[in-house]
Structure 1
Amino acid sequence: MAIYIPLPSDEMIHDFEHFFLEQSYRFSPERMLIREGLQCPNPFNPAGNAILALAGDAILRQSLVDQGRARGMSPEEIQNVIEKVASNVNLYRKGLALGLDPYIVKNPSQRNEVAGRIVMATTMEAILGAVYYDSNKNIDACERVMSVLGLSWPE
Protein backbone atom coordinates (compact mmCIF):
# COMPACT_ATOMS: atom_id res chain seq x y z
CA MET A 1 0.00 0.00 0.00
CA ALA A 2 1.46 3.35 -1.04
CA ILE A 3 1.10 6.40 1.16
CA TYR A 4 0.63 9.66 -0.69
CA ILE A 5 1.39 12.96 1.02
CA PRO A 6 0.05 15.77 -1.16
CA LEU A 7 1.86 19.08 -1.12
CA PRO A 8 -0.18 22.29 -1.13
CA SER A 9 -1.43 23.22 -4.59
CA ASP A 10 -0.70 26.57 -6.20
CA GLU A 11 -4.30 27.57 -5.42
CA MET A 12 -3.86 26.66 -1.75
CA ILE A 13 -0.59 28.62 -1.59
CA HIS A 14 -2.33 31.61 -3.20
CA ASP A 15 -5.08 31.40 -0.57
CA PHE A 16 -2.42 31.10 2.13
CA GLU A 17 -0.71 34.27 0.89
CA HIS A 18 -4.00 36.12 0.61
CA PHE A 19 -5.72 35.11 3.85
CA PHE A 20 -2.88 34.13 6.15
CA LEU A 21 -0.14 36.54 5.12
CA GLU A 22 -2.63 39.27 4.15
CA GLN A 23 -0.62 40.03 1.03
CA SER A 24 2.41 41.08 3.14
CA TYR A 25 4.54 38.75 1.03
CA ARG A 26 4.19 36.87 -2.27
CA PHE A 27 6.39 33.85 -2.84
CA SER A 28 8.29 33.25 -6.06
CA PRO A 29 6.22 31.52 -8.78
CA GLU A 30 7.59 28.03 -8.14
CA ARG A 31 6.69 28.33 -4.42
CA MET A 32 9.00 25.50 -3.37
CA LEU A 33 10.19 27.19 -0.19
CA ILE A 34 6.71 27.77 1.25
CA ARG A 35 5.76 24.20 0.34
CA GLU A 36 8.80 23.05 2.30
CA GLY A 37 7.91 25.41 5.14
CA LEU A 38 4.44 23.92 5.46
CA GLN A 39 5.63 20.29 5.39
CA CYS A 40 6.17 18.47 8.68
CA PRO A 41 8.76 15.73 8.95
CA ASN A 42 7.43 12.47 7.54
CA PRO A 43 8.80 9.10 6.40
CA PHE A 44 9.49 10.46 2.91
CA ASN A 45 11.05 13.75 4.06
CA PRO A 46 12.54 13.20 7.54
CA ALA A 47 13.80 16.79 7.87
CA GLY A 48 10.51 18.33 6.75
CA ASN A 49 10.52 22.04 7.54
CA ALA A 50 13.15 21.82 10.31
CA ILE A 51 15.95 23.69 8.50
CA LEU A 52 13.65 26.56 7.53
CA ALA A 53 12.38 26.62 11.14
CA LEU A 54 15.94 27.02 12.42
CA ALA A 55 16.41 30.02 10.14
CA GLY A 56 13.02 31.47 11.07
CA ASP A 57 13.72 31.12 14.79
CA ALA A 58 17.05 32.93 14.40
CA ILE A 59 15.45 35.71 12.33
CA LEU A 60 12.63 36.17 14.83
CA ARG A 61 15.03 36.42 17.77
CA GLN A 62 17.42 38.76 15.94
CA SER A 63 14.60 41.04 14.88
CA LEU A 64 13.32 41.25 18.45
CA VAL A 65 16.83 42.10 19.68
CA ASP A 66 17.09 44.84 17.04
CA GLN A 67 13.66 46.24 17.95
CA GLY A 68 14.50 46.18 21.66
CA ARG A 69 17.84 47.87 21.09
CA ALA A 70 16.17 50.58 19.00
CA ARG A 71 13.76 51.18 21.90
CA GLY A 72 16.64 51.50 24.37
CA MET A 73 15.58 48.40 26.32
CA SER A 74 17.88 46.59 28.71
CA PRO A 75 19.22 43.11 27.89
CA GLU A 76 16.84 41.66 30.49
CA GLU A 77 13.83 43.41 28.96
CA ILE A 78 14.80 42.22 25.49
CA GLN A 79 15.26 38.65 26.74
CA ASN A 80 11.83 38.75 28.41
CA VAL A 81 10.19 39.81 25.15
CA ILE A 82 12.06 37.10 23.22
CA GLU A 83 10.88 34.49 25.73
CA LYS A 84 7.31 35.74 25.38
CA VAL A 85 7.08 36.27 21.61
CA ALA A 86 9.33 33.45 20.33
CA SER A 87 8.17 30.76 22.76
CA ASN A 88 6.62 27.61 21.33
CA VAL A 89 3.49 28.26 23.37
CA ASN A 90 3.04 31.72 21.83
CA LEU A 91 3.84 30.48 18.31
CA TYR A 92 1.31 27.65 18.78
CA ARG A 93 -1.40 30.02 19.98
CA LYS A 94 -0.76 32.51 17.18
CA GLY A 95 -0.81 29.75 14.56
CA LEU A 96 -4.11 28.39 15.86
CA ALA A 97 -5.68 31.84 16.11
CA LEU A 98 -4.61 32.70 12.56
CA GLY A 99 -6.02 29.44 11.17
CA LEU A 100 -2.73 27.92 9.97
CA ASP A 101 -3.66 24.29 10.64
CA PRO A 102 -5.38 23.49 7.29
CA TYR A 103 -2.25 24.57 5.39
CA ILE A 104 0.15 22.28 7.28
CA VAL A 105 1.14 19.08 5.47
CA LYS A 106 1.21 16.63 8.36
CA ASN A 107 2.58 13.15 8.80
CA PRO A 108 -0.05 10.68 7.50
CA SER A 109 -0.73 9.48 11.05
CA GLN A 110 -1.64 13.08 12.05
CA ARG A 111 -3.58 14.08 8.94
CA ASN A 112 -7.02 14.44 10.57
CA GLU A 113 -5.74 15.97 13.80
CA VAL A 114 -5.13 19.60 14.69
CA ALA A 115 -1.41 20.34 14.72
CA GLY A 116 0.19 19.99 18.11
CA ARG A 117 2.24 22.61 19.90
CA ILE A 118 5.62 21.63 18.39
CA VAL A 119 4.29 21.11 14.86
CA MET A 120 2.49 24.47 14.85
CA ALA A 121 5.40 26.38 16.43
CA THR A 122 7.91 24.82 14.05
CA THR A 123 5.71 25.64 11.07
CA MET A 124 5.36 29.27 12.18
CA GLU A 125 9.16 29.53 12.36
CA ALA A 126 9.51 27.72 9.01
CA ILE A 127 7.23 30.25 7.34
CA LEU A 128 9.62 33.01 8.41
CA GLY A 129 12.56 30.94 7.17
CA ALA A 130 10.82 30.41 3.83
CA VAL A 131 10.24 34.15 3.47
CA TYR A 132 13.87 34.83 4.36
CA TYR A 133 15.30 32.57 1.67
CA ASP A 134 12.60 33.25 -0.93
CA SER A 135 13.14 37.01 -0.56
CA ASN A 136 16.90 36.64 -1.02
CA LYS A 137 17.47 37.20 2.73
CA ASN A 138 15.45 40.41 2.91
CA ILE A 139 14.91 41.15 6.61
CA ASP A 140 12.31 43.83 5.83
CA ALA A 141 10.15 41.20 4.11
CA CYS A 142 10.53 38.94 7.15
CA GLU A 143 9.54 41.75 9.50
CA ARG A 144 6.41 42.52 7.44
CA VAL A 145 5.39 38.88 7.73
CA MET A 146 6.26 38.82 11.44
CA SER A 147 3.94 41.80 11.94
CA VAL A 148 1.05 40.06 10.17
CA LEU A 149 1.69 36.91 12.22
CA GLY A 150 1.59 38.92 15.44
CA LEU A 151 5.26 38.27 16.22
CA SER A 152 6.59 41.81 16.50
CA TRP A 153 7.67 43.72 19.59
CA PRO A 154 4.64 44.07 21.89
CA GLU A 155 3.37 47.64 22.17
Structure 2
Amino acid sequence: MNHYSELWQASMMKRGAQDDVERDFGYRFKSKALLAQALDASGVGQADGNKRLALLGDKMAAAVVTAEWYISGAPRASADRLIQAQSDADLAATARSIDLVDIITFNPGLSKRQALASAKTLANALEAILGAIYIDSGNDFNAVKAALESLSIPTSPSDAGE
Protein backbone atom coordinates (compact mmCIF):
# COMPACT_ATOMS: atom_id res chain seq x y z
CA MET A 1 0.00 0.00 0.00
CA ASN A 2 1.48 3.37 -0.96
CA HIS A 3 1.61 6.38 1.34
CA TYR A 4 -1.38 8.07 -0.27
CA SER A 5 -3.52 4.96 0.05
CA GLU A 6 -2.72 4.90 3.76
CA LEU A 7 -3.29 8.63 4.04
CA TRP A 8 -6.60 8.26 2.22
CA GLN A 9 -7.81 5.56 4.57
CA ALA A 10 -6.82 7.58 7.62
CA SER A 11 -8.39 10.81 6.41
CA MET A 12 -11.59 9.14 5.28
CA MET A 13 -12.15 7.64 8.71
CA LYS A 14 -12.78 11.14 10.06
CA ARG A 15 -16.28 11.03 8.57
CA GLY A 16 -17.96 9.92 5.35
CA ALA A 17 -15.47 12.21 3.68
CA GLN A 18 -15.15 10.49 0.31
CA ASP A 19 -18.84 10.80 -0.42
CA ASP A 20 -18.93 14.35 0.94
CA VAL A 21 -16.02 15.55 -1.20
CA GLU A 22 -17.37 13.83 -4.28
CA ARG A 23 -20.86 15.23 -3.68
CA ASP A 24 -19.60 18.76 -3.01
CA PHE A 25 -17.39 18.79 -6.11
CA GLY A 26 -19.87 16.85 -8.25
CA TYR A 27 -17.20 14.37 -9.28
CA ARG A 28 -16.55 10.69 -8.46
CA PHE A 29 -12.85 9.86 -8.23
CA LYS A 30 -11.44 6.77 -9.87
CA SER A 31 -8.18 7.20 -7.93
CA LYS A 32 -8.80 7.65 -4.22
CA ALA A 33 -5.03 8.00 -3.73
CA LEU A 34 -5.07 11.08 -5.98
CA LEU A 35 -7.77 12.64 -3.84
CA ALA A 36 -5.74 11.80 -0.72
CA GLN A 37 -2.76 13.56 -2.27
CA ALA A 38 -4.92 16.62 -2.91
CA LEU A 39 -5.92 16.66 0.75
CA ASP A 40 -2.33 16.38 1.99
CA ALA A 41 -1.34 19.88 3.04
CA SER A 42 1.26 18.46 5.39
CA GLY A 43 4.00 17.52 2.98
CA VAL A 44 4.31 14.20 4.80
CA GLY A 45 3.66 12.08 1.69
CA GLN A 46 5.73 14.25 -0.61
CA ALA A 47 7.92 17.19 0.21
CA ASP A 48 5.52 19.56 -1.51
CA GLY A 49 2.31 17.88 -0.31
CA ASN A 50 -0.58 19.01 -2.47
CA LYS A 51 1.14 22.09 -3.88
CA ARG A 52 1.70 20.70 -7.39
CA LEU A 53 -1.95 19.69 -7.67
CA ALA A 54 -2.97 23.07 -6.21
CA LEU A 55 -0.98 24.90 -8.88
CA LEU A 56 -2.59 22.79 -11.58
CA GLY A 57 -6.06 23.34 -10.10
CA ASP A 58 -5.48 27.08 -9.84
CA LYS A 59 -4.46 27.28 -13.49
CA MET A 60 -7.35 25.06 -14.62
CA ALA A 61 -9.86 27.22 -12.72
CA ALA A 62 -8.37 30.31 -14.37
CA ALA A 63 -8.53 28.58 -17.77
CA VAL A 64 -12.22 27.79 -17.25
CA VAL A 65 -12.97 31.41 -16.38
CA THR A 66 -10.89 32.73 -19.26
CA ALA A 67 -12.55 30.41 -21.78
CA GLU A 68 -16.04 31.27 -20.55
CA TRP A 69 -15.18 34.98 -20.61
CA TYR A 70 -13.85 34.70 -24.16
CA ILE A 71 -16.92 32.84 -25.38
CA SER A 72 -19.22 35.40 -23.74
CA GLY A 73 -17.64 38.35 -25.53
CA ALA A 74 -17.78 40.33 -22.27
CA PRO A 75 -15.27 43.12 -21.59
CA ARG A 76 -11.88 42.25 -20.10
CA ALA A 77 -12.92 43.67 -16.73
CA SER A 78 -15.43 40.81 -16.43
CA ALA A 79 -12.65 38.23 -16.64
CA ASP A 80 -10.63 40.12 -14.06
CA ARG A 81 -13.58 40.18 -11.65
CA LEU A 82 -14.19 36.46 -12.14
CA ILE A 83 -10.55 35.64 -11.47
CA GLN A 84 -10.62 37.84 -8.37
CA ALA A 85 -13.63 35.81 -7.19
CA GLN A 86 -11.20 32.90 -6.98
CA SER A 87 -8.99 34.63 -4.43
CA ASP A 88 -7.53 32.64 -1.57
CA ALA A 89 -9.99 34.26 0.82
CA ASP A 90 -12.99 33.34 -1.34
CA LEU A 91 -11.78 29.79 -1.97
CA ALA A 92 -11.01 29.36 1.73
CA ALA A 93 -14.55 30.47 2.56
CA THR A 94 -15.87 27.86 0.14
CA ALA A 95 -13.59 25.24 1.67
CA ARG A 96 -14.90 26.12 5.14
CA SER A 97 -18.51 26.03 3.95
CA ILE A 98 -18.13 22.42 2.81
CA ASP A 99 -16.13 21.42 5.91
CA LEU A 100 -13.05 20.59 3.87
CA VAL A 101 -10.97 21.58 6.87
CA ASP A 102 -12.15 18.42 8.66
CA ILE A 103 -10.41 16.11 6.21
CA ILE A 104 -7.27 17.98 5.17
CA THR A 105 -4.06 16.46 6.49
CA PHE A 106 -2.28 19.43 8.01
CA ASN A 107 1.37 19.91 8.84
CA PRO A 108 1.89 18.29 12.23
CA GLY A 109 3.74 21.43 13.35
CA LEU A 110 0.57 23.52 13.05
CA SER A 111 -2.11 23.65 15.66
CA LYS A 112 -5.66 23.09 14.43
CA ARG A 113 -6.34 26.77 15.12
CA GLN A 114 -3.38 27.89 13.00
CA ALA A 115 -4.44 25.57 10.21
CA LEU A 116 -8.00 26.85 10.31
CA ALA A 117 -6.79 30.42 10.11
CA SER A 118 -4.69 29.78 7.01
CA ALA A 119 -6.72 30.86 4.01
CA LYS A 120 -3.83 29.84 1.77
CA THR A 121 -3.84 26.25 3.05
CA LEU A 122 -7.60 25.92 2.61
CA ALA A 123 -7.54 27.53 -0.83
CA ASN A 124 -4.66 25.27 -1.87
CA ALA A 125 -6.58 22.18 -0.79
CA LEU A 126 -9.62 23.21 -2.82
CA GLU A 127 -7.44 24.00 -5.84
CA ALA A 128 -5.57 20.72 -5.37
CA ILE A 129 -8.86 18.84 -5.55
CA LEU A 130 -9.63 20.68 -8.80
CA GLY A 131 -6.20 19.65 -10.10
CA ALA A 132 -6.85 16.07 -9.01
CA ILE A 133 -10.19 16.13 -10.83
CA TYR A 134 -8.43 17.30 -13.99
CA ILE A 135 -5.88 14.47 -13.81
CA ASP A 136 -8.35 11.80 -12.66
CA SER A 137 -10.83 12.70 -15.42
CA GLY A 138 -8.22 12.21 -18.13
CA ASN A 139 -7.55 15.94 -18.49
CA ASP A 140 -11.21 16.83 -18.92
CA PHE A 141 -11.56 20.61 -18.81
CA ASN A 142 -15.34 20.26 -18.45
CA ALA A 143 -14.98 18.14 -15.31
CA VAL A 144 -13.19 21.06 -13.66
CA LYS A 145 -15.85 23.48 -14.90
CA ALA A 146 -18.59 21.24 -13.50
CA ALA A 147 -16.79 21.05 -10.14
CA LEU A 148 -16.54 24.84 -9.95
CA GLU A 149 -20.22 25.12 -10.77
CA SER A 150 -21.07 22.47 -8.19
CA LEU A 151 -19.28 24.62 -5.61
CA SER A 152 -21.17 27.73 -6.83
CA ILE A 153 -17.92 29.41 -7.84
CA PRO A 154 -18.70 31.76 -10.75
CA THR A 155 -17.16 30.64 -14.04
CA SER A 156 -18.74 33.02 -16.53
CA PRO A 157 -19.84 36.65 -16.66
CA SER A 158 -23.48 35.53 -16.52
CA ASP A 159 -22.76 33.59 -13.29
CA ALA A 160 -21.41 36.79 -11.81
CA GLY A 161 -24.51 38.74 -12.81
CA GLU A 162 -22.89 40.57 -15.70
TM-score by length of 2: 0.80
Q: CA RMSD in A?
A: 2.3
Task: Give the AA of the match of 1:67.
Answer: E
CA shift at 1:11, angstroms?
Answer: 8.3
Structure 1 residue runs of 4+, over 6 Å off?
none
Counting aligned pairs with the same residue, the percent is 23
Q: Distance in 1 between matches of 2:82 and 2:143?
A: 21
Identify unmatched segments of 5+ residues in structure 1: 1-5
Cα distance in 1 for residues equivalent to 2:34 and 2:148: 17
Please identify, of 50-59 and 7-16, the stretch whose mean Cα deviation from structure 2 is larger: 7-16
Deviations 1:49-87 (Å, cap 9, x if unpaired)?
A: 000011000000010111112222111221121112x21
Asked whether the equivalents of residues 89 and 117 of structure 1 are also in contact (C-alpha less than 8 Å), the reply is: yes
Residue of structure 1 in register with 2:153 after alignment:
151
Note the alpha carbon deviations across 1:103-149, whole angstroms, 9 max, x for none. Answer: 10011122533431110011011000000001110111111111122
State the match for 2:7 in structure 1. Answer: 7
Letter matched to residue 22 of structure 1 = R
TM-score by structure 1 length? 0.84
Amino acid at match of 1:39: D
- Paired with 2:75 and 2:42, the residues of 1 have a C-alpha distance of 38
Give the Å deviation of 1:44.
Answer: 5.5
Q: Where do 1:108-119 residues align within 5 Å?
A: 108-110=108-110, 112-113=112-113, 114-115=115-116, 116-119=118-121
Query: Where does residue 36 of structure 1 map in the other structure?
Result: 37
In the alignment, which residue of structure 1 is the partner of 2:76? 75
Q: Which runs of 5+ in 2 are unaligned?
A: 1-5
1:33: Cα distance to partner?
Answer: 1.0
User: What is the identity, as a one-letter code, of the residue corresponding to 2:57?
Assistant: G
Number of equivalent positions = 148
- The residue that corresponds to 2:106 in the other structure is 106
Match of 2:96 in 1: 96
Decide whether aligned partners of structure 1 residues 10 and 131 sit closer, same or farther in structure 2, where only a CA change above 3 A counts: farther
